[in-house]
Amino acid sequence: MNLSLLAALLSAVPAPSPQDGDFEKLHALIKPEADELKFLRVPWLTSVTEARRKAAAEGKPLFIWTMAGEPLGQC
Amino acid sequence: MGSEKIVRLLGQEYVPVAYNGFRCGTDPDAKWLEVLRGQGAYVEANSFTVATAGGKVLANDSYGAHVVAEGFEKWKKLPEADRKPGAIKVGAESPKPRLDPPAGGLIVRAYTRALKRDDKGQLARITAQDARDKSVYPPEWDPLYNEPMLDHLWLTESEGKSLVPADPRKGQKLSVPKPIQMRIFRFHLGNGTQGALETWDLEHVRRGELVLIVEETTPLVQLRLEGSAVLSSDADLSKAKMGIGARLDGRLTYDPGRKTFTRFDMVATGEHWAEKMHAYYPTPRRGRNPLGVAFELIRESTPAGRVPPWGLFNGAPDGRRYFSAGEQD
């Protein structure tokens, strides 16, 4: 690996700032706040068949959220 | 689904189900959805449908939140005999999950958030006000992009054990095994805050190291994790259309008595850039911008907590690419 490429790679990782050193603060900053990702508070099932069974037993309608990917994960 | 009213309605009056539309073919769930499709409902990707357990469609739209209230109103108007508990029998066998977390392994939730630097140069969350700066934020920037994106990191049981020395000593250093390093770098250091997460090929990992340092040994083993990684679409970073340079920091706690991790917290922060991430997704922010990923161990055994990592959907169905991330695809 040539020296200029190595230098570029090393400089591509930002130096930590004083705040960056506060692990707990950084962790909390990135995680969702109370009013974010509200949909996670819904008690989702991931099997339509299980949901149908539960809905039939409890006398409730189904709400089906379909996505091209995992609605409760990345997508 | 951002309103409190909708969240409450879904939680109290419905049985809500989140369905991955990539599961298709002979999946029993997909077959049943054909019943709804036969009534004209759009149940493909990105849709909301209200239906009875017996298969009667009550409301349907492509991501219209109005479906929640509208569907419930129609449900209430159905005859009592059709709505009461036990009125419908569902005898179908539940499909096996296509991808289950490894038995005895670790499930770590990963949140990725687009960040900014504030006036003091500190990392901060993006606000609606920030997005008005069109020199950085594209016109199609959605407030949703200010929120974190979700994913999961899976480690097998033996991988979890490999993170703890057999005879830990304070100050001891050990390198995180390569497959785990590469999995984190390739599948969890990307920007998916505007849609599907970008993942990296092996050749895109330009540099990466991750080490564990034993900080305490009794009564619990406390480990600190340190590392960095550079991933880019071109070895020449000045030419790379996409890349990230990140620093990683973590705190892990292992309980030798219970033989389990009680903490697996990690952050990755760095600068990300991309001219365009996916052909059909919005333009990312211009230039190099801060990105943060926060990992935390989850313990709840809920369906939401068992959702597979995005990286497992990209590649061989057996997850080979994800679990052997240090090897050529």
pLDDT in tens, B257-278: 999 999 999 999 999 998 876 5
* B residues 45-84 closer than 8 Å to A (CB): 45-54, 58, 67-68, 71-72, 75, 83-84
State whether ipTM is beyond 0.85.
Answer: yes
User: Nearest-CA neighbor of B268 among B298, B296, B242, B291?
Assistant: B291
Task: Find out whether B164 and B106 touch, Cβ atoms under 8 Å.
Answer: no
* Residue-level pLDDT at B277: 60
Q: Is the pLDDT of residue B122 over 60?
A: yes
Helix boundaries (H) for chain A: 3-12, 23-30, 48-58
Average pLDDT value over all residues in chain B: 89
**Residue in B with minimal Cα distance to A38:** B2
Q: Is the pLDDT of residue B219 over 80?
A: yes
Size of interface A-B (CB pairs under 8 A): 285
Which residue in A9, A31, A38 is closest to B1 by CB distance? A38
Q: Indicate the number of domains in chain A.
A: 1
| Length of chain B in terms of residues written | 329
Q: Is the pLDDT of residue A19 over 70?
A: no
What's the one-letter identity of residue B205?
V
Of B48, B83, B118, which residue is a domain's last?
Answer: B83
Domain containing A50 equals 37-70
* Residue-level pLDDT at A1: 56
Query: What are the φ and ψ backbone dihedral angles of B6, each rounded to 5 degrees?
Result: -70, -45
**Residue in B with minimal Cα distance to A48:** B29
Does the pTM surpass 0.80? The reply is yes
Residue B118 in domain: yes
Q: How far apart are CA B244 and CA B191, in angstroms?
A: 9
Residue A65 in domain: yes
Residue B63 region, left (φ>0) first, then alpha (ψ -120 to 50), else beta? Answer: left
Claim to verify: residue B131 and residue B273 sit in the same structural domain? yes
Asked whether the beta carbons of residue A14 and residue B269 sit closer than 8 angstroms, the reply is yes
A16-20, A49-53, B130-134: least confident range:
A16-20
Residue B311 in domain: yes
Asked whether the beta carbons of residue A12 and residue B230 sit closer than 8 angstroms, the reply is yes
Estimate the crossing angle of helix B4-13 against helix B66-76, to 10 degrees: 40
Q: In what order do the strands lie in the sheet with B15-20?
A: B15-20, A62-67, B47-51, B57-61
Q: How far apart are CA B189 and CA B175, in angstroms?
A: 19
Residues of B in contact with A64 (CB under 8 A): 17, 19, 33, 36, 43, 47-51
Claim to verify: residue B173 and residue B204 sit in the same structural domain? yes
Residue A49 in domain: yes
Asked whether the beta carbons of residue B267 and residue A23 sit closer than 8 angstroms, the reply is yes
Claim to verify: residue B55 and residue B129 sit in the same structural domain? no
User: Nearest-CA neighbor of B151 among B196, B216, B97?
Assistant: B196
Mean pLDDT confidence for B210-235? 96
Domain containing B189 equals 106-323
Claim to verify: residue B173 and residue B252 sit in the same structural domain? yes
* Residue-level pLDDT at B92: 65
User: Nearest-CA neighbor of B253 among B289, B197, B293, B297?
Assistant: B297
Q: How far apart are CA B67 and CA B108, in angstroms?
A: 33
Q: CB neighbours (10 Å) of residue B234?
A: 13
Query: Is A41 in CB contact (< 8 Å) with chain B?
Result: yes
* Residue-level pLDDT at B290: 95
* Residue-level pLDDT at B246: 95
Claim to verify: residue B113 and residue B171 sit in the same structural domain? yes
Q: Distance from CA of residue A56 to its chain's centroid?
A: 31
Q: Is the pLDDT of residue B21 over 80?
A: no
Q: Indicate the number of domains in chain B.
A: 2
Q: How far apart are CA A64 and CA B7, in angstroms?
A: 14
Hunting for tokens 């080490």 — which residue is that? B211
* A residues 1-40 closer than 8 Å to B (CB): 5, 8-9, 12-14, 16-17, 19-20, 23, 26-27, 29-32, 36-40
Give tens-digit pLDDT for A22-31.
899 999 999 9
Mean pLDDT confidence for B236-245? 91
Asked whether the beta carbons of residue A39 and residue B308 sit closer than 8 angstroms, the reply is no
* Residue-level pLDDT at A73: 81
* Residue-level pLDDT at B73: 97
Task: Find out whether A40 and B1 touch, Cβ atoms under 8 Å.
Answer: no
